[in-house]
Amino acid sequence: LGYGAPGGPGLEFFFLYEEMSSRDLLQRRATDEAGRTRWIDSPLVRAARTGALCILDGMHRLHGDVLCVLAPLLQDRQVTLALANDPLHDGAVSELLVRSDRYEVLSQRVAEDSSTNEAPLRLGRVHPAFRILALAEPPSGRRPWLTDELSTYFSHHTYPSLGSDDIKQTLQVLYPRLAPETLNRLVAAVGPQNHAASAPGKGAAAKELQDSEDAPHAAALRVLLRVARRASTAESDKAETELLTGLLSQALFPFLPRGARDELLTRLRRHFGESLVKEAAIRVLRKGERPPANSSANQAAGGTSADRVMIGRFEAPIGRPEHPELVPNVDFVGISRHLELLEDLATAMFVRDDRYLLLLGPQGVGKNRVVDHLLQTLNLEREYMQLHRDTTVAQLTVTPSIVDGRLLYEDSPLVRAAQLGRVLVLDEADKAPLEVVVVLKSLVEDGQLTLPDGRRLARFAVGTNVEGSQTIQIHKDFRMFVLANRPGFPFLGNDLIREADVFTIFCLDNPDAASELHLVKSIAPNVPESLLRTLVGIFADLRLAVEEGRLQYPYSTRELLAVVRHLNRYPDEPLDVALGSILAFDRFDPAVRETLRPIFEKRGVPIATALGAPLDESASPQHSQTWLRALAALRGVKLGAFSLLAPMSTAGVWRAAGTPMALTPSMQNVQNRPGQLDPPKTIGLADVVFDRIGDGFSEGVARLRLPLSPNYGAVVDAVVGVASEESNARVLHILSVSPAILWSVEDPFATGAQAGRCTALPLGPGSNWGMMVDKSPPTVRVGGRIINLGSPQMVSIAAAGALLVHLPLDILAPQMLFRGPHREDMTSEAVVVPALQPPRVQGRVRPLAEESFVVVPISDAEAMNHSFEEFSISRSAVFYQPAGRRLVHVDFLSKKAKEIVLPGAPVNEPPKGPTLLDRLRKPIQTPVERPPLCSVSAVATLRGIEVIIQNEENDFGGATSKKFLSVLLPEAVRPPTARIIEVQAHPDRPHAIPTPVVAGDALVSMPPGMGASNPTIFAASVDASSKQLAHVLAPAQVGSTSRQVSALLDIPPNLKRGVLRPADPANPTSTFPTVAELAKADSKTLRKLLQGSPPQLPAPREEWKGFGPMVPKEAEMVVRVLSKPELGGDWLEAVHVPSRTVRRLPSRAPEDGDDDIGGGGKAGGSLVL
């Protein structure tokens, strides 16, 4: 229509906001040079005088009674304006604007009236070309702005709802670089759906509008345009990833409720696939490992030049500020999440030319620090403005002030930044009234903003230029960062998200545990790392309680940094004093105290120390003197007692019998097929008890009870794995049977929302092994543990990041490989190894326990991370069949397997089993020959996996000797070898023959031409009455065929020396000495005072049985479980070989067991992992 064009009618933009009054729609007050009041026309009145088109944007924001002032102008094209101190019409108090055809008639009448004594009237004319275009949202119950009276003022038109085809066409025209298939998937996923009821008619239009609004996750057109523009600037192979990343950011994906998040991801996966959606979600959540371009993690800027700087992997231009004092200068520690955000912000500014950016995140997460560091790196001038609940629209744009009686307007940081090309940082945008922030929408979307003093910010200098209207063109370098807290509880600010789609949105959540630990270590280098880890864990738990609604105050990284700075500056300050500043108000609320209690106790911080005594606790402490309280606290420390062992003595000799035997393996291919299991379900733990609470201290940390009931079977195995790829936190996997369920308990001391979570993954009824074996199944000793043949087992495959569940009696899936069995994105595969398949016997219902394989855990497998293409230790598993004396070595990544038949194996004939009729009559009958009791263990060595096998029921060498078989399974494709080792006992101890169970780094056997240069500490399977607690295999000499074995012996209690036995503290208050007695006490007396009563075995050591020995990597110690069923509890025994000491601690108290679960102690006992 030509409005705003050169030589054509003018164009006026008038952005409306809720604070406007009726007078503001027509005029505004100002002063002249003498300080006298003047009235200046609004954009609406200027358009009426000059014949321009006035766009009233946001009619719905005003109340109906305010808009009624427009009735004379809209209906009669006349309006009365106020005048004051008008120099052209001195004495006039008002002005009447009328339409052109009445102007001539009224001019004569006004002239006649001016000759009288009445106040003169100024007369103006409304231009015939004057038009108004009002924009508004439909009225709603919350905003019923369109009254019956106001509805008669305008001619109404409804903006049509765009269908899918219209949006596709628009996007294709604007962004032709995007593939049509990509745009089709975008619109199908989050765009409005096509509706058949799109024919003209009020009902059809209303239905289409309602359907499009109610469509789940339907994105606005401006959002689709923004994400399409982002994708069009990326490389073709990254376009869809950028599209999804932008879409999830605009949808505030990190802050969505879990249900809405899952629904959005499901909708996107349906159109874009799993991999692309997962990659985009990781980027938005900032959990990926995006390596920076430089080697220093503390610098976001890598290589620099005179005019360019590297930010991550993006090269950005450096500014040349005219006022360097406006460039921020902050201290910054680069953590991965912040570095990724810096790169994304720089890319948005200089590649996509995004000028208006919104950064959302929790309070105290570092939004200001990240933006300031970015501006410091880019050398850009900054204008800063902080909003609050009393901020008005006028304060956002200009600040009125009285100077020498004159009303002057001083430019706000917003106006200065827009005029001079600076970067505006608008902080706490969610704190101001929403209508104040909505004013920015006119600037962001329309490029227009009218100032209270009559000036106008505009992207282009168009429109009328009459008195009081001065257009300020927005500088091409002007940019705006809007910072706000995340939406929802507990940040109860304005509804900023309702208008946030006009900005390019970036989300910044609290840093992950590893990044936050790196941050606090950089801030407080003098604080011990263990204390920093404790603080990081406490604050992660506090934030989780806030998200769950149990606490209201949002504990952030800001408070954590305040605590660690205090501890760094005052290293001798107690922790409770440092925490007092952030808990000063919480200590007065009993409900908050009870919520905080388990959070602090879990980390070993007593609640009374951190929050102080309850307010109603008027009684004084038990001991008033500081030294008495210190003694009471130290006496509460319960540590295991040290006992000295006898000097190392000779236990026997290992001698190689014969020459090594080369074994010929049978190579096989392994097949994987996808599993058909539902995701795990989160189940609350039955009980969680933290031991380090109150004033005492023990070596026990926590006790967790699974929610097992009498309907569940026994727990048969457990293994420790890694919780996730992004974290080093551990997860405990536990396998129970009848039915088979895989339980996963995440580390309760880890940081993050998943800490302490328990999940259950049913493996199916086919794994109900308890119904498949007789009451006394054959057993085998695997790594020192006695395991029933046919029982399910688990091992961790380190390199594959997977958990292997071995179900030998399951005919459908004997081996299952799980990745993330505790996560919702769990994947499972059934592994088919031909050598592990049971023999096909006619009439056989299912495999027999006597024929089954056991999986042998490989000690120290995680430490062997070799890069062989096949059969690397860290990605392998070893299976052993006692009945057939067969070994199967499986590589799960290369999908290869070796089957090895050991010497002495029976003839490979199909075992004769019962017929189908016999099995149905007697399901528990197992006539297959029962395999002998044997021991098998495996250890990772520098040359491969060494498997040690011994037949415990067949004594080859008489009363004082035994033999075992050492099999070396090398990595890569080298053939395995076997060697028989004869164990000769010492003449003085013929009944204590050390049978190898678990060894350390060096080879137990002696390969030809190579000797072990270091001693090997190992645990031995010995008689219950033996006092040999640990064994050491001496270094082998090159060319020698024998190695000496030494043992550490327990000393009888009546011969022990040097063990302190403090007096029984029945009355602790009476045993404290006086100050004078304490000053004269010798060191022995002081040790007795400070040492609590250590726990002691309730029965002599020779009455206990040892199970599951383990040699920790490089620990030079042997750890095992001591069990005595009649006492009902288990103990942990740790033997330290270099110091010849042993410590024993209770690991399972009688009250920790449940006799009604899993048939009592049939599969019970503790397990060392």
CA atoms within 13 A of residue 800's CA, in its CB half-sphere: 25
Mean of all residue pLDDT scores within the chain:
76
Residue 101 has pLDDT above 70, yes or no: yes
**The pLDDT of residue 777:** 73
Which SS3 state, helix, strand or coil, does residue 27 take? strand
DSSP 8-state class, residue 910: -
Q: In which band, very low, low, confident or very high, does the pLDDT at 1042 lie, cut at 50, 70 and 90? A: confident
Q: In which band, very low, low, confident or very high, does the pLDDT at 6 lie, cut at 50, 70 and 90? A: low
Residue 1167 has pLDDT above 70, yes or no: yes
Q: In which band, very low, low, confident or very high, does the pLDDT at 349 lie, cut at 50, 70 and 90? A: very high
Q: In which band, very low, low, confident or very high, does the pLDDT at 1151 lie, cut at 50, 70 and 90? A: low
Q: In which band, very low, low, confident or very high, does the pLDDT at 378 lie, cut at 50, 70 and 90? A: very high
Give the predicted TM-score (pTM) of the model: 0.68
Instruction: Say if CB 1074 and CB 1054 are below 8 A apart.
Output: no
pLDDT digits (tens, 9 = 90+) for 570-612: 988 877 778 877 887 777 777 888 888 778 877 777 666 666 6
Residue 1003 has pLDDT above 70, yes or no: no
**The pLDDT of residue 376:** 93
List Cβ neighbours of 530 (8 Å cut-off, separation of 6 or more): none
Task: Count CB atoms within 10 A of the CB of residue 572.
Answer: 5
CA-derived radius of gyration, the chain = 40
**The pLDDT of residue 595:** 84
**The pLDDT of residue 1055:** 52
Distance CA 1102, CA 1086 (A): 33
- Paired tokens of 826: 């769990």
Residue 1121 has pLDDT above 80, yes or no: yes
Distance CA 14, CA 57 (A): 6
Task: Count CB atoms within 10 A of the CB of residue 646.
Answer: 15
CA distances from 427 to 75, 332, 439, 479 (A): 44, 19, 15, 14
CA distances from 1078 to 188, 627, 632, 1089 (A): 82, 10, 14, 10
Mean pLDDT of 513-538: 88
Strands (E) in 265-312, as ranges, are 301-304, 308-311
Instruction: Say if CB 370 and CB 311 are below 8 A apart.
Output: no
Higher confidence at residue 1095 or residue 676?
Answer: 676
User: Which of 381-385, 979-983, 1051-1055 is predicted least confidently?
Assistant: 1051-1055
Distance CA 249, CA 258 (A): 16
Higher confidence at residue 1161 or residue 58?
Answer: 58
> Judging by DSSP bridges, how do beta strands 301-304 and 131-135 pair with one another?
unpaired
Q: What percent of the chain has pLDDT over 70?
A: 73
Q: How deeply is 369 buried, as exposed, middle or buried, from its count of CB atoms within 10 A (0-12, 13-18, 19+)?
A: middle
Q: In which band, very low, low, confident or very high, does the pLDDT at 206 lie, cut at 50, 70 and 90? A: very low
Mean pLDDT of 858-869: 63
Mean pLDDT of 51-56: 90
With b for 16 or more beta-carbon neighbours within 10 A and e for fewer, the 1097-1117 pattern comes to beeebeebebbbbbbeeeebb
Strands (E) in 495-640, as ranges, are 504-507, 637-638
- Paired tokens of 1071: 């045993």
Q: In which band, very low, low, confident or very high, does the pLDDT at 640 lie, cut at 50, 70 and 90? A: confident
Instruction: Say if CB 355 and CB 483 are below 8 A apart.
Output: no
- Which one, of 1142, 307, 1044, 155, lies nearest residue 642 by Cα? 1142
Mean pLDDT of 15-33: 82
User: Which of 212-226, 779-793, 959-973 is predicted least confidently?
Assistant: 212-226
User: Which of 169-173, 234-238, 679-683, 918-922 is predicted least confidently?
Assistant: 918-922
Q: How deeply is 43 buried, as exposed, middle or buried, from its count of CB atoms within 10 A (0-12, 13-18, 19+)?
A: buried
pLDDT digits (tens, 9 = 90+) for 463-511: 444 444 578 888 999 999 999 887 765 555 566 777 777 889 998 888 8
**The pLDDT of residue 409:** 74
> Judging by DSSP bridges, how do beta strands 382-386 and 423-427 pair with one another?
parallel
pLDDT digits (tens, 9 = 90+) for 439-460: 888 788 878 787 777 777 888 7
Q: In which band, very low, low, confident or very high, does the pLDDT at 613 lie, cut at 50, 70 and 90? A: low
User: Which of 717-721, 944-948, 950-954, 1050-1054 is predicted least confidently?
Assistant: 950-954
Q: In which band, very low, low, confident or very high, does the pLDDT at 915 lie, cut at 50, 70 and 90? A: very low
CA distances from 160 to 1, 34, 202, 329, 669 (A): 21, 53, 11, 50, 62
Q: In which band, very low, low, confident or very high, does the pLDDT at 861 lie, cut at 50, 70 and 90? A: low
Sheet holding 79-82, edge to edge: 79-82, 94-99, 122-126
Residue 775 has pLDDT above 70, yes or no: no
Q: How deeply is 728 buried, as exposed, middle or buried, from its count of CB atoms within 10 A (0-12, 13-18, 19+)?
A: exposed
Task: Count CB atoms within 10 A of the CB of residue 903.
Answer: 11
Q: In which band, very low, low, confident or very high, does the pLDDT at 203 lie, cut at 50, 70 and 90? A: very low
Helix extents (H) in 351-455: 367-378, 393-397, 413-420, 434-441
Mean pLDDT of 83-89: 61
Which SS3 state, helix, strand or coil, does residue 666 take? strand
CA atoms within 13 A of residue 570's CA, in its CB half-sphere: 10
Distance CA 759, CA 738 (A): 17
Which SS3 state, helix, strand or coil, does residue 664 take? coil
**Helix 529-547 crosses helix 590-602 at what angle (to 10 degrees)?**
140
Look at phi and psi of residue 445 and say left if phi exceeds 0, alpha if psi is from -120 to 50, else beta: alpha
* Range among 507-511, 683-687, 723-727 with highest mean pLDDT value: 507-511
Instruction: Say if CB 359 and CB 506 are below 8 A apart.
Output: yes
The CA-based diameter of the chain, rounded to the nearest angstrom, is 143
- Paired tokens of 405: 């009686």
